[in-house]
């Protein structure tokens, strides 16, 4: 099964990337709450026009649509420029 060898490495790499992305999000949230430098730089992330937020009695729903699109574009460009090497 040599065609599956690369799949395991790709899954491990994707997992590491997701852990790093999660840590960055946690740091941004902590920084945004305490007024630190991360909050000043990335405090607007998640509060962009187009992010959907619904709050009712006993119910809240939040979907960061615009933020997701922006992150997708940035990551796509990053992957594109890295793969051009």
Same domain? 30 vs 53? no
Is the torsion defined by CA of 23, 82, 66, 59 positive or negative? negative
Q: How many domains does the chain divide into?
A: 2
Same domain, 76 and 55: yes
Task: Return the closest-CA partner of residue 42 out of 63, 19, 21.
Answer: 21
Q: Are residues 39 and 50 in the same domain?
A: no
User: Using the 8-state DSSP alphabet, how is residue 35 labeled?
Assistant: T
Rounded Cα distance between 76 and 10, Å, is 17
Q: Are residues 39 and 52 in the same domain?
A: no
HSE value, Cβ hemisphere, 13 Å, CA-based, for 16: 6
Q: Are residues 10 and 36 in the same domain?
A: yes
At 53, is the secondary structure helix, strand, or coil?
strand
* Domain interval for residue 56: 46-85
Residue pLDDT, tens place only, 36-46: 665 666 667 77
Reported pTM: 0.54
9-56 pLDDT per residue, tens: 778 888 888 888 877 777 766 665 665 665 666 667 777 888 888 899
Token digits of residue 22: 């999660």
């Amino acid at each position: 099964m040599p065609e599956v060898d690369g799949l395991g490495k790709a899954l491990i790499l994707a997992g590491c990337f997701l852990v790093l992305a999660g840590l960055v999000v946690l740091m941004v949230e902590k920084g945004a709450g305490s007024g630190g430098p991360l909050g000043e730089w990335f405090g607007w992330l998640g509060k962009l026009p187009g992010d959907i937020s619904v709050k009712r009695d006993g119910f809240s729903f939040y979907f960061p649509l615009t933020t997701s699109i922006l992150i997708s574009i940035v990551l796509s460009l990053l992957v594109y420029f890295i793969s051009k090497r």
